[in-house]
Structure 1
Amino acid sequence: MAISLELPKKFAMNIDQARQAALEVFRPISRKYDLAEHAYPVELDTLAALYDGLSAAGQAGAGAAGGRADAEKKRPEGVVVNGGNMQSIINSLEASYGDVGLMLSLPFQGLGNAAIAAVATDEQLERLGKVWASMAITEPSFGSDSAAVTATATLDGDEYVINGEKIFVTAGSRADHIVVWASVDRSLGRAAIKSFVVPREHPGVTVVRLEEKLGIRASDTAVIRFEDCRIPAGNLLGSPEVDVKKGFGGVMQTFDNTRPMVAAMAVGVGRAALEELRRILEENGIEIDYDRPAIDQHAAAAEFIRLESDWEASYLLTMRAAWMADNKQPNSLEASMSKAKAGRTVNDVTNKAVELASTVGYSERILLEKWAR
C-alpha cells in the first residue's frame, strides 16, 4: 500500500483553527499559568466549547475518538485514508506549538479519552464517549513497564472493587473520569490487565496530592489512591475475558493511539523553539543558507540545520504512525519509535536553542527556557 504523508486539503480548516488557538489563546497566557501552577486556565472553557460544537458539526477533530470512527468506515480495497488519527495528531501538534501544558488542560481532550476510543464497546462509547477522562497507569513501583501494574480490580457480583495507587496522572484533579489500569487476576500476569472508567468524585477515590513540577506546570499532575472503590462491571473497557495467549493487546492498543499524540506534542514544542531560534539568529546577522554546506557557515547556523533535520525526522515518524493507524496497519513499532525519536529530539532542540540564544534564552523575556523545561 502506498503511503502519503502530505497533509490533506480537507484538514486545512482544522489546521488553521488549531494554529489560531495556539497563537491567540495559548501563547498569550502561557507564562501566566507557568507561574501559577495548579491554577485552572479558565480561558480554555470557551475554547473547549467551541471545539465541541465544531466536532459535533463534523468540522473539527480535536479529540482522539474521531480516529476510531474514521478508521472503521468501509472503503474499497487499496484506497488509502488520512483520517481521524492524523487529524488528532495535527491538533496535538498545533496546540502544543502554543503551549503543551495548556493543551493537556483542555477539557474533554484527555489521554483517557484516547483509551476509551481505542478499546470501548459501541455501548460504552455511547455512554462514556463524552466524558473528560484522565489516564492512570504509572505506579510508585514502575514507570514505563506497563505490564508491572499492581493495582487490582476484583469482581464482586456485578461490580469491580479497585485498590491501588497511581502517580503522574495528567489532569487527575480536573478530569471528571479516570481510566485506571488494574489487574483482574495477578496470577495470570499481563493478560489480566484491564482498563476501567472510574468517576473522579466517587467513593474510594482520593486525589492525594498535586505534584510541583519543573515543566508543563499549566497541567496538573496528580497522585490518586483507590481504596475499595466499587464501580459497575460495565465500566471495564472492552471484553472482560482474560486471554492468556493474546496477552494484553487490548489495553496496549491504547498506546498505539496515545504514543503518536505524545510525539506530536514534542514535535509542536520543537517547532516553536526552532522558529524562535531562527528569529534570534537572523536578528543577530546569522544567515541560515540551505544552498551552502553546513561546515562553511556560522557554527550556530550549522547547529540549527542539524536540529532542524532531526526535527523533520521526528515529524515524519509521527505522521507515519498516525497514517498507519488510519489505514488499519499495525503501528505499535512505529508509534513507539515516533515517541522515542520526538522525545529525544525536543530535548535536544529546546536545550540547544536556550544555549545558542545566550542570555536572552535563559531569561523569562521569551518562552525558550519554558519550552526547554
Structure 2
Amino acid sequence: MAINLELPEKLNSTVERAHLAAEHIFRPISRKYDLAEHEYPVELDELGKLAKQSRGQERSGDAEASGEDTVNGTNLRSVLNARELSWGDVGLMLSIPGQGLGNAAIAAVANEEQLERFADVWAAMAITEPGFGSDSAAVTTTAVLDGDDYVINGEKIFVTAGSRADHVVVWATLDKNLGRAAIKSFVVPLDADGIAVVRLEHKLGIKSSDTAVIRFDDVRVPSGNLLGTAEINVEKGFGGVMQTFDNTRPMVAAMAVGVGRAALEEMRRMLSEAGHEVDYDKPAAAQHVAVAEFIRLESDWEASWLLTLRAAWMADNREPNSLEASMSKAKAGRTVTDVTNKAVEIGGTGGYAESELLEKWARDSKILDIFEGTQQIQQLIIARRVLGKTSADLK
C-alpha cells in the first residue's frame, strides 16, 4: 500500500498566502509587539479582512467537494495556515481578527444553523477558572435556563484574545450536581451586559496576544447559542464539548511546528556559518555534536508534523481522532521547547540576546506545550486510549 504524503494542490495557495504574510507582515513587527505588550497590532486589520474573504471562498469549495470520498477541508487548511503564520510569529497569529480558538470550537460542535450564524465572528475560548487548570470537568461557571435564555455566572482566566475578540465560547455547567455530563459550551457576545474584562496578564511569551480574565455576572444569551445538544446524558459524560479539543489540539500542534521550523532554520544557518554542514549521508555520530543534535531535533520535528497532518485529516473526514489529536499536541509541544532551547544554547550570546528572535521563540514556545492541555494531560489521554481505560480507571 502506497502512502502519498504530498499535500493537495488546492491547498498550495493557502500555504503561499500564509507564508507571505508571516514573512512580510509578522516578522518585521515581531519584536515591536513583543516589547509593547497589550498594544493592539493594527497591522493585522487588513490581514483579518483578507482572511475573512478567503474563509468564505473555502467554505464554498468545501461544500462543492462534500461528495468526495476523501475530504481535505477546514481542519487541514487550518493547520497549514497555523504552521506558516507561526513561523512568522505565533502571538501575532493568535491576534488575527476572526481566527480565535473559539472558532475551532464552533467548527467542532455547532450544528449547521449555528455554523452559518457564527461564520464571521471572532471567538475566543474560555475554559480555565481560578480553581482549576487541566481538569476541565471542574467547571464552576453556571448556565441556568430562564425562559428562552441562559443566564451565565462565573469567572474565566487565561482567555486568549479575550479583550479583542467579539465573541467568546464559554464552558459552563447546567447542573453542578450532575458532574461533567452537564458541562456545555455557549457562544457569548463580548458586548453583552454583565461581561467585564477584569485584567490582562503579563506573560513570558506570546506577548503580542492578549490574555484576559473575564467575569460573567448574570449574562443572558439565547438558548440557541448553546453548542450541541442541551440534553444531559450522564452515561455519555461531556464528550460533546470535549470534541472541541479534537479540532484545536492539532492546530496548536501546527503552531508548535511553525515555531520549531523557524528555530531549526536559524540553527542550521548558525551551524553553516561555523563551518559545520549537515550531511544526511553520514551517521549522525560521525558528525559534529551540534550537527548530530540538529539531525535528532529535525527528525522529531518531522514526526510532529506528520502526526498533526493525520489528526487534522481525520477530523476533516469525520473519523474519531482524540488519540491522534493528543499525540500530535504532545509530540509537537515537547519538540518545539526542545528545539528552541537547543537553538538558544547553540546560538550562545546571539541566541540569548534580543538582537535575534531566537530568545523570543524560546519564550513563545513554552505555552504551546501547556495550553489546550498540558504535556502530562496529553500523555494521560493517550494512555487511556491505547489501554482502553476510562478516566476513572486511569487518573
- Shorter chain as normaliser: what TM range? over 0.9
SS at match of 2:185: strand
Superposed, which structure 2 residues align to 1:266-285 within 5 Å? Answer: 266-285=256-275
1:102-113 equivalent positions in 2, closer than 5 A: 102-113=92-103
Percent of aligned pairs with the same amino acid: 71
Are 1:16 and 2:13 matched, yes or no? no
CA contact (8 A) 1:5 1:320 kept: no
Which of 156, 167, 177 is matched with 2:157 structurally? Answer: 167
Residue 367 of structure 1 deviates from its aligned partner by 0.4
2:36 corresponds to? 36
Shift of 1:71: 11
Q: Report the equivalent of 1:73.
A: 66
2:223 aligned residue (226, 233, 247): 233
1:72–1:234 CA distance, 2 compared to 1 (3 A):
farther
Aligned pairs for 1:93-132 (under 5 A) are 93-132=83-122
Q: Provide closer, same or farther for how the CA distance between residues 342 and 68 of structure 1 changes in structure 2, counting only shifts above 3 A.
A: farther
Match of 2:172 in 1: 182
* Residues 7-56 of structure 1 deviation map (CA, whole Å, 9 limit, x = unaligned): 11111111111110110110000000000000000000011111222332
Question: Does 2:291 match 1:291?
Answer: no
Runs of 5+ in structure 2 lacking a partner?
A: 364-395
Q: State whether residues 90 and 264 of structure 1, in contact with CA within 8 Å, keep that contact through their aligned partners in structure 2.
A: yes
SS in 1 for 2:89: helix
Contact 1:67 1:326 in 2 (8 A): no
Q: Closer, same or farther in 2 for the Cα pair 1:39/1:146, shift >3 Å?
A: same
| C-alpha separation in 1, matches of 2:258 and 2:135 | 26
Match of 1:5 in 2: 5
Q: Residues 3 and 289 (structure 1 numbering): CA distance in 2 closer, same or farther, change over 3 Å?
A: closer
Equivalents in 1 of 2:163, 2:269: separation in Å? 38
Question: What CA distance in whole angstroms lies between the structure 1 residues aligned with 2:57 and 2:245?
Answer: 28
The one-letter code of the counterpart of 1:92 is: A
Tell me the distance in 2 between the aligned counterparts of 1:286 and 1:111.
41
2:65 and 2:71 in contact (8 A); partners too: no
Q: Does 1:27 align with 2:23?
A: no
Amino acid of the structure 2 residue aligned with 1:196 = F
- Counterparts of 2:60 and 2:205 in 1: how far apart (Å)? 29
Equivalent in the alignment of 1:315 = 305
1:356 alignment counterpart? 346
Which amino acid in structure 1 is aligned with residue 12 of structure 2? A
Helix, strand or coil for the counterpart of 2:227? coil
Distance between the aligned counterparts of 1:328 and 1:201, measured in 2? 34
Q: CA-to-partner distance for each residue in 1:40-80, whole Å, 9 max, x for gaps?
A: 0000001111122233234xxxxxxx5995699233xxx33
In structure 2, how many angstroms separate the alpha carbons of the residues matched to 1:180 and 1:72? 32
2:191 matched to which residue of 1?
A: 201
- Other structure's SS at 2:94 match: helix
One-letter amino acid of the structure 1 residue matched with residue 177 of structure 2? S
Report the TM-score when normalising by structure 2: 0.89
- Between stretches 3-12 and 35-44, larger displacement belongs to 3-12
Give the secondary structure class of the aligned counterpart of 1:117.
helix
Deviations 1:320-364 (A, max 9, x none): 101111222110010011111100100000001000111100011
Judging changes above 3 Å, is the alpha-carbon distance between structure 1 residues 88 and 317 closer, same or farther for their aligned structure 2 residues?
same
Cα–Cα, structure 1 residues 80 and 167, in superposed 2: closer, same or farther, change >3 Å? same
Q: Which 5+ residue runs of structure 1 have no aligned equivalent?
A: 59-65
Number of matched pairs = 363
Specify whether residues 172 and 71 from structure 1 end up closer, same or farther in structure 2 by C-alpha distance, changes over 3 A only. Answer: farther
